[in-house]
């Protein structure tokens, strides 16, 4: 029950942030609209992705009822959820590369966006092959490697990038940049821990493991709400400051 409540609270927070951004988007000028639009896409994709992952977790008891090598439509829901959660950041990364960073390799060449795009395409191709042919352990680990690669690249861009911006700035800009870095890194760490925890304990469908998993995911959801509020606060403050 507590996992359900924490999940719905998480959905509520993402939903409120998305609605707020869409309202601000309607009132924004031409310069601010790309930032607000991509932020709205970012949070909306995370919201939908988290709902799909929640549906998968509830329907399959965190994947413990799915037999490896046997096709299951719920796998499509989980993969779509992960894709939206990770891929939703691409438009925002593109806009931030152009407006927040001075290095030509990032600002003009969009190297981070290109790397992320290629990894997302590779992940989609691999997951489609997985759904059709139902690979076993080794390719599944390769899939995890793709997901982790995307997460690490985004963490370096958001967390590392805004951390460096914060160190080179002063006053409120420094504080807000560090908020973004801290909130995003915290969220990444929480998602990585939950992903690995589910992969390890979710493979063993004993009642004690499932109970521990549910408690763990409840705590993760609560901490995720805190992390995303910190990140959203920093991003919105930076946006307000740059108006």
What pLDDT, on the 0 to 100 scale, is given for residue 208?
52
The residue written with tokens 């997985």 in the block is 130
In this prediction, residue 101 has a pLDDT band, given cuts at 50, 70 and 90, of low
pLDDT higher than threshold 70 for residue 211: yes
Per-residue pLDDT tens digits for 32-51: 788 788 888 988 998 998 89
- Pick from 84-93, 135-144, 147-156, 215-224: least confident: 135-144
Instruction: Examine the pLDDT at 192 and tell me if it is beyond 70.
Output: yes
Which pLDDT score, from 0 to 100, does residue 134 have? 57
**pLDDT at 48 (0 to 100):** 93
Query: Nearest-CA neighbor of 96 among 136, 51, 42, 135?
Result: 42
The DSSP line for 22-81 is: HHHHHH--TTTHHHHHHHHHHHHHHHHHHHHHHHHHHHHTTTTTPPTTS--HHHHHHHHH
Tokens of 209: 């493991």
- Asked if residues 211 and 67 have their Cβ atoms less than 8 Å apart, the reply is no
Q: CA–CA separation, 50 vs 239, rounded Å?
A: 26
pLDDT tens-place string over residues 133-160: 655 544 566 666 777 777 777 777 777 7
Contacts of 141 (CB under 8 A, 6+ apart): none
Question: What does the pLDDT average to over 13-22?
Answer: 87
Confidence of residue 96 (pLDDT cuts 50, 70, 90): confident
pLDDT at 103: 62
Gap between the Cα atoms of 211 and 209, Å rounded: 5
């Amino acid at each position: 029950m507590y996992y359900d409540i924490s999940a719905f609270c998480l959905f509520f927070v993402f939903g409120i942030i998305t609605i707020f951004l869409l309202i601000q988007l309607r009132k924004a000028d031409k310069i601010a609209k790309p930032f607000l639009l991509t932020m709205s896409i970012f949070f909306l994709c995370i919201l939908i992705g988290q709902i799909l992952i929640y549906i998968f977790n509830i329907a399959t008891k965190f994947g413990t009822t799915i037999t490896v090598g046997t096709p299951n439509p719920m796998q499509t829901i989980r993969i779509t959820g992960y894709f939206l959660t990770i891929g939703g950041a691409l438009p925002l990364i593109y806009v931030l590369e152009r407006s927040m960073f001075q290095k030509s390799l990032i600002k003009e060449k969009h190297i981070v966006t290109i790397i992320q795009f290629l990894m997302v395409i590779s992940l989609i191709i691999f997951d489609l092959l997985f759904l059709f042919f139902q690979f076993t352990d080794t390719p599944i680990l390769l899939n995890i490697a793709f997901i982790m690669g995307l997460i690490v690249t985004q963490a370096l861009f958001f967390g590392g990038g805004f951390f460096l911006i914060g160190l080179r700035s002063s006053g409120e800009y420094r504080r807000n940049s560090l908020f973004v870095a801290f909130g995003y890194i915290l969220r990444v760490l929480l998602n990585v821990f939950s992903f690995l925890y589910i992969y390890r304990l979710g493979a063993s469908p004993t009642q004690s493991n499932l109970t521990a998993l549910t408690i763990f995911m409840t705590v993760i959801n609560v901490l995720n709400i805190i992390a995303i509020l910190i990140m959203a606060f920093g991003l919105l403050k930076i946006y307000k400051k740059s108006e």
